[in-house]
Structures are given as C-alpha cells and as structure tokens.
C-alpha cells in the first residue's frame, strides 16, 4: 500500500488520556482510536495486524479439529438464569439492556450457556461426540477500571473454543492437544520463550485451571516461575498446599509480573447437567456431556506484543503479525531517478504478493524514518541515490537495527 | 469436509417459533441457530456462507479505494448528543446501557458519528482527501418486530462505507463509483437481474436517497419499477411530484414487493459541521468535509438469497457463496469398493483445493439426498456402483436438477 493513500496519520505527542504503553503507541502510530475508556476502534493498520493474529490462532484451532461458528452478543436472560450466572450478585460484569419488544437482555461476557444450548439440538448419541467448536467474537465486560489499553477492554475480541466429550478420558486427551495448540500459537507469535503454563484458581469447576502468562512489567498478575520445569503458579493459588500438589518447591520459584494470554478450564458436567446436554452411550444410557473451555484474546495478544517488544522509538512487530513485512522508504522526489527506482521495486513487491507499505510521500528523510520506527514493520528498505546507482538496497531490521545491503532478487525472495 | 465430522444436524420439521422462510430453512439445514426473536448465531455452514458474501463485498469496496477498519459497538453518548441522535425521541432503536464506571452508553446503530470524529484526527488539509473507509461490523437495532428472519435482525452484520470528499463534485464522482460497485456485488451474487436501483426518501440529508431493492415476496417494501429504464421508486416517495423530478411516468411502472439490499445516502456537511471535521483548502480556507454513506447487509443478503432461490426441497446457493461447491454423496458402506472410490475422489478434491462436503455417513441414499437438497450445494456428485465401474460420476446441478456424467478430470477442473 502507498503511504500517501493511507488515511491515518502518526503523531509525535503521547495521548494525554491514555496511561497504557500499548495503547499510547498504537494510538500515536494510527493503529487504533480510543472511543472511551476501555473501548477502542481498529484503524486499517490495526485491523490488518489483528487479523493476522486471528489467522494464526484459527489455523491452530482448525488443526485440533475445531469447527468455527459465531454466536450473538445479545444474550437470553432466561438461559443464563438456569445456570445462575445472570444475577449481578453472582456475575458483576454484565452490560444489561431492555428489548423494546419486552424483556431484558445482556451482552455476552462468555458463551458457555448459548453454545451448550445449541449443542442440545445437535448432540444426542455417543456417535455425535466429541465436538470442538470455536469463534472469534466480541465480548463485552463492564469493567470498573480500564487502564491496560487493549490488554483489557470493555469490548474486545476473544477466541473461545468449547469442547464436548463423552467422558473424562476423551476430555483429557483433547485438553492436552488444546494446551499444545496454545503453546504453538505463542511460539508462532514469538513470545513462546517468556510465556509460561501457569496454575491458577479453578473456580468452582476444578481445583486448578491452567493459564498461559507472558512476562511483562505491564501485567496485572504476579506469578512464581519454576524455570527448570517451565511452569508457574499464579499468586492467587500460591500456598504450601498447592505447591505440594503441583510438585513445586518455594525455593526454586522466581516472582515476576505477567499478563494472562490464554486460559483453559475444565467445566466438567456443570453446564451440560443444568442445560440438559446429554447423550445416549453405547448401552443407551443417558449421560451428561463433559465440557472444557479454552480462551485466547487476539486483541490482548496484540497489546502484549507491543508492550513486550516495543523500544524507545516505537512499535516492533514480529514478521508473522506485522501489517506489512517491508516499509519501503523512498528518499526521492516526484519524477526523479530515485523515486523511479523505488516505484519499480514497489511494483515488483506488489506483483510478488509481499505486503509492503511504500512511503512515497514528499517528506524529509528524518520524518519518514521516525514514522517507520514508530510503525514498526520488521524490515525497512531505504531507496536513496546509492541504491539507484548500485542496485543494492539498504535493508534495516527494525528489532535489531542490523543493516544489510540486499539485491532486488534477495528482497523479492521473502515469504509472501 | 467430511459430513460425519460436521457437528450440525439437519431436521425435517419446520421450527415452530420462526415465521420467515429464510430462517426456517437455514435453521432446518443447521446453518443458523435462533437465540431469541431477531437474534441468530451462525453455525459452521452459515458462517462459511456469510464469509463468502463478505469477501465479495470486500473485494468491490477495495476496488474503489476503500480502506477497511472496524469500530466499536459501544458508543459515546456525548458524541451522539452533539448530532442530536441520542435522544430516544429522535432515534427510537437504541439499545442503551450503563457503565459500571459511570455514565450511559449505547450499542452502535450506525457509525457516522464515531468515524467522523476519528477523521478529525487524520484529516486537516485538502491533501488528506478524499478518504473512503469501511467496516464489516455488527449493528444493534432495538426493533419492535422481528419477523423477517436474518433479513432484519436486532443484531446483524453490516458493511458500512463512508466517503469524505473535498466538495460536491469529488463526492459525486465517488458516489457514482460506489453505485457501480454495488451493482457488481449484486451481479456477482446472482441477483443482479432482479435488483433495482430505487429512489427512496432522502430523509433530512437530501431529497432522495438511493436504495437497491431485490424483488421478493418476503420483502417489506413496495416499489414501482420502470423495467425499460431499469430503475424504481419506493412507495414512500411515490407522488406525481417525485415522478416528474425523476422523469418517470406512472403508466410505465409495475408494482412489486421487494427487500432493500443496499442503500446510499448523501450526507452533505451535516456531520462534518456538527463534529468539526474541516480541512484547509488550497487557499488555506477552512471548509467542512462532504460526506456520503453506503450500506450493505451481508446477513440480509444471505437471507435474500435463500428467499429468492430456494425451492420446495430446500436451499439453492449460487456457487460463489455456497459453503462448498460439491456435495459428494457416497452410496457405499465402510470398506466397500464404492466407498473407496468416493474416498479417492474426495482426497483429490481436497488436494485441488475445491471446497467439498463429503457425505461419508452410513445412511440410506434417500436420507443423504434429502439432506443434500436441503443444504443446497450447487453440485451433487453421486458415487454409486456405476461410478465405481465406469469411472464416470453423476453430477446433479441443484438449481436445475440437470444430470450429467462427468469424469474425475472434469470434476477436478472446477474453480477453487
């Protein structure tokens, strides 16, 4: 895309109404717009980035047999009353509103209830199981505080997968695959090395749940890591009793701030029993379906990538999620030789299907470089007089600052 | 995809709580689930179909220079008060709710206000214009009645594009391209021949707005068509005065029921003046930006396709939006020669990237054919003993019932 066509502008000053580093940088770079506290819109560069994160998660969910659907935000009060999760005294983050046609509704905070009800129409026999279904869908949570930028919004995109299994053994098998799929997602996003499987409160479903926590000073959680074992314990369940159950020793744990990037819950038969999701087994005996749920927030992950990878000059995207691989910066002026060479390279990159943001604007080099640093594409290609003369382009890696001279062919050999 | 892996089941009986044909068929076929009146979830087959409609619209919006973004559902009361569209006495379809952090919010019914505000941060000079931005985003409208299935939901997917131009001339140019892009969308979806550019009430913005109306008995509108000119007038503006302005004659008009599938509004400077979206022209004079908005509902279009193309046996999808091109129906049983041939053809189709739903279930032929008719894939490939013996497969076109014998190579020559 030509930078001159992109409608968003960067700004130098830090927005005064935003405290989180991730949102400050994303707002300055024109990736997002803050509508209200905890409510953000995704502008073209932001949406491209978010969609790439979504696609990585989608591939890993499909790989473990997930079937994608999308449920409504508007929720049925009667349904949630049956599981006792409607009352504000029980769940205090609902946005509730009224139908003009009569009755109360709320905005989905999660989707165990509606999906369990859907499944009662499609599952009746052991032959119909197991089923794994997931969605990318906006959740609404009426949070009192919203100070973490896009890492904790009142409206945010969530990938929520739900598993429906015949019994605990079948459930445990899938649970293990889902955990491994989560590890793959975090590795592909480049945060695998500082993301830990963390034991946390299981709530009413089981003794522990499993979270994935990424080390970050902006994190809202405190975790205790056993580096050798590669696992951690959330402060909320840190006790001698828990440590003994998990086979961990206080002396080998390191305390760190972290942000939760994924979670996995055993739901057992809590929802299936209350909502009548049963199946007939091989002997014709009716049994409740065993469920699990598995969440990852793509917009939160986008915030985490900014928090953990950005430097003093701006955003640094991993190549797998960057809205464009190359930021092609022309130092020429309309009609001159340099700008002709840059135009040609851009045309070649477009033809090769390699995502490129082409800074064809008539601005000083310093302004272009500052924008390029702020926007954070993985590689900057500089086209100056030198390149026009030698046919070799300066390619600067955003993360390291490493500079290399590359030929047109080498640049075009990049992955699409 | 193997049918045996798809979690949704079809049902023979018409759902008793649904009056619209489109939703009845889509529910029976397992494409959607009705959560409440006017609120639907999209199950795997439904989401695939919806996404293909979205992609066609996206391509046409990109082709006229649209930049995709996505705004929040939660809306800022203060912003909408500035254009006098917050008060229920002025706009009566809001869902409103309260922030626990204080203050009222509502669910976006449309997005002129937030996008105009976003643009005040990115447009300041004539050099920044024109800009065309669009989104696919769920709208919420608190409709009193919801009897048209997915053609009029309380929560529904909308493509809304907004144009920002320097002046009326520049605006008119884009308006013309957007109109042509809409025609392309309807032609690609196969409803071009019975979709008419229709003059309707312009509201407070201009004398007429333009709608696209598709002839359908399930439509909520009445339009008067001039077949020769290929245009129509909505009943709401049908008067001698209007007809004269539009150069139409009552005697050449035919009355039909129709459903609105797209609309285009001139917004003039109404929003830009109230929200301070101005730019400095070449002489440095501050001027308000001239705006337009352009809506298409992908979920409504999906409903329209069902309403207008379905027959007594079920849904009939155009190939461009069908979740799968082929419904491969094996009449074999696990391990026999017929099922081996079907398995091989399926493997070849998968390898060729041709979307195929493979009915590998151990059911009677009659049940499989009934499901296949209901689900509505464009082509059914039947694999029986004959195919196993001759290498020629019976291919049945869903829309016409036309039967042809096709070789493996002919079947694999289909578009991806």
Chain centre distance of CA A327: 23
Say yes or no: B67 contacts chain A, CB-CB below 8 A. yes
Angle between helices B44-63 and B168-188 (to 10 degrees): 140
With CA atoms as reference, report the closest residue to B63 among B211, B195, B182, B194. B182
Per-residue pLDDT 10s for chain A (416 aa) are: 999 999 999 999 999 999 999 999 999 999 999 999 999 999 999 999 999 999 999 999 999 999 999 999 999 999 999 999 999 999 999 999 999 999 999 999 999 999 999 999 999 999 999 999 999 999 999 999 888 999 999 999 999 999 999 999 999 999 999 999 999 999 999 999 999 999 998 765 678 889 999 999 999 999 999 999 999 999 999 999 999 999 999 999 999 999 999 999 999 999 999 999 999 999 999 999 999 999 999 999 999 999 999 999 999 999 999 999 999 999 999 889 999 999 999 999 999 999 999 999 999 999 999 999 999 999 999 999 999 899 999 999 999 999 999 999 999 998 87
Distance from CA of A72 to the nearest CA of B (A): 5
Return d(Cα A217, Cα A246) in angstroms, integer.
26
State the Cα–Cα distance between residues A308 and A196, nearest whole angstrom.
15
Q: Of B41, B133, B142, which has the smallest distance from its Cβ to A69's Cβ?
A: B41
pLDDT at site A388: 86
Q: Which positions 248-267 of A are in contact with B (Cβ < 8 Å)?
A: none
pLDDT of residue B204: 59
Convert the pLDDT of each residue in B364-373 to its tens digit.
999 999 999 9
Q: Which two tokens stand for residue B134?
A: 């669009």
> Residue holding tokens 């109230």?
B274
Q: Which residues contact B276 (CB under 8 A, 6 or more apart)?
A: B120
Look up the CATH number of domain B326-412. 3.40.50.800
Q: How far is A74 from chain B (nearest CA, A)?
A: 7
Inter-chain residue contact B154 with A74, CB threshold 8 Å:
yes
> A167-179: per-residue pLDDT in tens?
999 999 999 999 9
The CA-to-CA distance between both ends of chain B, in Å, stands at 15
Report how far residue A208's alpha carbon sits from residue A232's, in angstroms, rounded to the nearest whole number.
12
Q: Are B365 and B35 in contact (CB under 8 A)?
A: no
- CA B41, A263, A44 angle in degrees (round to 5)? 60
Q: Do B121 and A93 touch (CB under 8 A)?
A: no
Pairing of strands B96-98, B74-76: unpaired
Give yes or no for B334 touching A (CB within 8 A). Answer: no
Q: Do A30 and B122 touch (CB under 8 A)?
A: yes
Q: What is the pTM of this model?
A: 0.97
Establish if A118 touches chain B: CB-CB under 8 angstroms.
yes
Q: Which residues of chain B have pLDDT under 70?
A: 203-205
Domains B3-309 and B326-412 fall in the same CATH topology: no
Q: Cα–Cα distances in Å, from A216 out to A144, A191, A399, B396? A: 22, 11, 18, 58
For residue A204, what pLDDT is reported?
59
- Say yes or no for a CB contact (<8 Å) between A47 and B70: yes
Gap from B217 CA to chain A (nearest CA, Å) = 25
- What pLDDT, on a 0 to 100 scale, did the predictor assign at position B278? 98
Test the A interface: residue of B97, B102, B104, B165 with most A CBs within 10 Å: B97
A81: contact with B, CB 8 A cutoff: no
Residue A213 CB-density burial (10 A; 0-12 exposed, 13-18 middle, 19+ buried): buried
A68-93 pLDDT, tens per residue?
Answer: 999 999 999 999 999 999 999 999 99
Q: Cα–Cα distances in Å, from B235 out to B201, B220, B225, B232, B275? A: 9, 11, 10, 9, 33
CB B379 within 8 A of CB B396: yes
The shortest C-alpha distance from B356 to chain A (Å) reads 15
Q: How much is the mean pLDDT over chain B? A: 96
**Per-residue pLDDT tens for B45-100?**
999 999 999 999 999 999 999 999 999 999 999 999 999 999 999 999 999 999 99
Tokens of A309: 């990878």
The alpha-carbon gap from B164 to the nearest alpha carbon of chain A, in Å, equals 11
CA distance A290 to chain B (A): 16
CA distance B81 to B75: 11
Residues ≥6 apart with Cβ < 8 Å to B279: B123, B124, B125, B126, B128, B129, B166, B286, B287, B289
B107-163 pLDDT tens trace: 999 999 999 999 999 999 999 999 999 999 999 999 998 889 999 999 999 999 999
Pick the residue of B37, B39, B96, B136 with the most A CBs within 10 A to test the interface with A by mutation.
B39
Hey, are the CB atoms on A7 and B133 less than 8 Å from each other?
yes
Question: Residue A140: left (phi > 0), alpha (psi -120 to 50), or beta?
Answer: beta
CA distance A393 to A295: 43
Where are chain A's structural domains? Answer: 13-192+203-218+259-309, 326-412
Q: What stretches of A74-175 adopt beta strand conformation (E)?
A: 74-76, 96-98, 104-107, 131-140, 155-165
Q: Do A74 and B39 touch (CB under 8 A)?
A: yes
Among partner residues A41, A70, A100, which is closest to B142 by beta-carbon distance? A100
* A155 touching chain B per CB within 8 A: yes
Helix (H) or strand (E) holding A258: strand A254-268
What confidence score (pLDDT) does residue A146 get? 84
pLDDT value, residue A398? 98
Grouping H, G, I as helix, E, B as strand and the rest as coil, residue A318 is: coil
Listed in sequence order, the residues at least 6 apart from B392 whose beta carbon sits closer than 8 Å to its beta carbon are B386, B405, B406, B407
Region for B84 from its dihedrals, namely left if φ exceeds 0, alpha if ψ lies in -120 to 50, beta otherwise: left
3-class DSSP assignment, residue A376: coil
The partner residue sitting opposite B41, judged by closest CB among A7, A36, A114, is A114
Q: In CATH, which of 1.20.1560.10, 3.40.50.300, 3.30.930.10, 3.40.1350.10 is domain B3-309?
A: 3.30.930.10
Q: Which residue has the tokens 């592909």?
A: A188
* Helices within A5-97 (DSSP H only): 21-28, 44-63, 77-82
Say yes or no for a CB contact (<8 Å) between B74 and A36: yes
As to burial, measured by CB atoms within 10 angstroms (0-12 exposed, 13-18 middle, 19+ buried), residue B167 is middle
As a whole number of angstroms, the distance between CA B159 and CA A51 comes to 17
Least CA distance to B139: which residue of chain A? A73
SS (H, E, C) chain B: CEHHHCCCCCCCCCCCCCCCHHHHHHHHCCCEEEEECCEEEECHHHHHHHHHHHHHHHHHHHHCCCEECECCCEEEHHHHHHCCCCCCCCCCCCCEEECCCCCEEEECCCCHHHHHHHHHCCCCEHHHCCEEEEEEEEEECCCCCCCCHHHCCCEEEEEEEEEEECCHHHHHHHHHHHHHHHHHHHHHCCCHHHEEEEEEECCCCCCEEEEEEEECCCCCEEEEEECCCCEEEEHHHCCHHHHHHHCCCHHHCEEEEEEEEEEEEEEECHHHHHHCCEEECCCCCEEECEEEEEEECHHHHHHHHHHHHCECCECCCCCCCCCCCEEEEECCCCCCHHHHHHHHHHHHHHHCCCCEEEECCCCCHHHHHHHHHHHCCCEEEEECHHHHHHCEEEEEECCCCCEEEEEHHHHHCCCC
Q: Looking at the complex, does the CB of residue B97 fall below 8 Å from at least one CB of chain A?
A: yes
Residues forming a β-bridge with A279: A287
Nearest to A106 by CA among A80, A144, A84: A80
Q: Is B90 on the interface with A (CB under 8 A)?
A: no
Question: What fold characterizes domain A13-192+203-218+259-309?
Answer: BirA Bifunctional Protein; domain 2 (3.30.930)
- Classify residue A401 as exposed, middle or buried by CB count within 10 Å of its CB (0-12, 13-18, 19+): exposed
Tell me whether strands B254-268 and B290-296 are parallel, antiparallel or unpaired.
antiparallel
pLDDT of B388: 85
């Amino acid at each position: 895309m030509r930078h001159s066509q992109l409608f968003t502008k960067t700004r130098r000053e830090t927005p005064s109404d935003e405290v989180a580093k991730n949102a400050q940088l994303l707002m300055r770079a024109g990736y997002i717009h803050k509508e209200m506290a905890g409510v953000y819109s995704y502008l073209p560069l932001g949406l491209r980035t978010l969609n790439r994160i979504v696609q990585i998660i989608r591939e890993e969910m499909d790989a473990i047999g997930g079937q994608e659907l999308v449920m409504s935000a508007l929720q049925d009060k009667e349904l949630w009353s049956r599981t006792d999760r409607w009352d504000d005294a029980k769940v205090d983050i609902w946005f509730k509103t009224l139908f003009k046609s009569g009755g109360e509704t709320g905005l989905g905070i999660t989707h165990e209830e509606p999906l369990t009800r859907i499944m009662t129409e499609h599952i009746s026999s052991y032959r119909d199981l197991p089923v794994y279904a997931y969605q990318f869908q906006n959740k609404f949570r009426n949070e009192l505080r919203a100070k973490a930028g896009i890492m904790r919004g009142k409206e945010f995109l969530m990938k929520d997968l739900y598993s429906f299994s015949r019994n605990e053994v079948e459930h445990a098998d899938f649970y293990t695959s889902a955990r491994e799929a989560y590890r793959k997602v975090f590795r592909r996003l480049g945060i695998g090395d500082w993301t830990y499987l963390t034991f946390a409160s299981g709530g009413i479903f089981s003794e522990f749940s499993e979270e994935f926590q990424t080390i970050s000073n902006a994190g809202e959680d405190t975790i205790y890591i056993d580096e050798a074992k590669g696992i951690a314990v959330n402060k909320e369940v840190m006790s001698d009793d828990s440590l003994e159950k998990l086979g961990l020793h206080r002396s080998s744990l390191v305390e760190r701030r972290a942000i939760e990037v994924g979670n996995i819950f055993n739901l057992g038969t809590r929802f299936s029993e209350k909502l009548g999701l049963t199946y007939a087994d091989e002997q014709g005996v009716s049994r409740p379906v065993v469920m699990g749920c598995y969440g990852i927030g793509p917009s939160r992950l986008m915030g985490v990538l900014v928090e953990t990878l950005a430097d003093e000059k701006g955003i640094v995207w991993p190549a797998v999620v960057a809205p464009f691989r190359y930021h092609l910066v022309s130092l020429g002026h309309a009609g001159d030789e340099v700008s002709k060479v840059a135009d040609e390279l851009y045309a070649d990159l477009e033809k090769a299907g390699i995502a490129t943001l082409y800074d064809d604007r008539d601005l000083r080099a310093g302004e272009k470089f500052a924008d390029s640093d702020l926007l954070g594409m993985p590689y900057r290609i500089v086209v100056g007089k030198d390149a026009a003369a030698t046919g070799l382009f300066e390619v600067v890696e955003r993360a390291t600052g490493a500079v290399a001279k590359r030929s047109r062919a080498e640049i075009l050999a990049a992955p699409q």
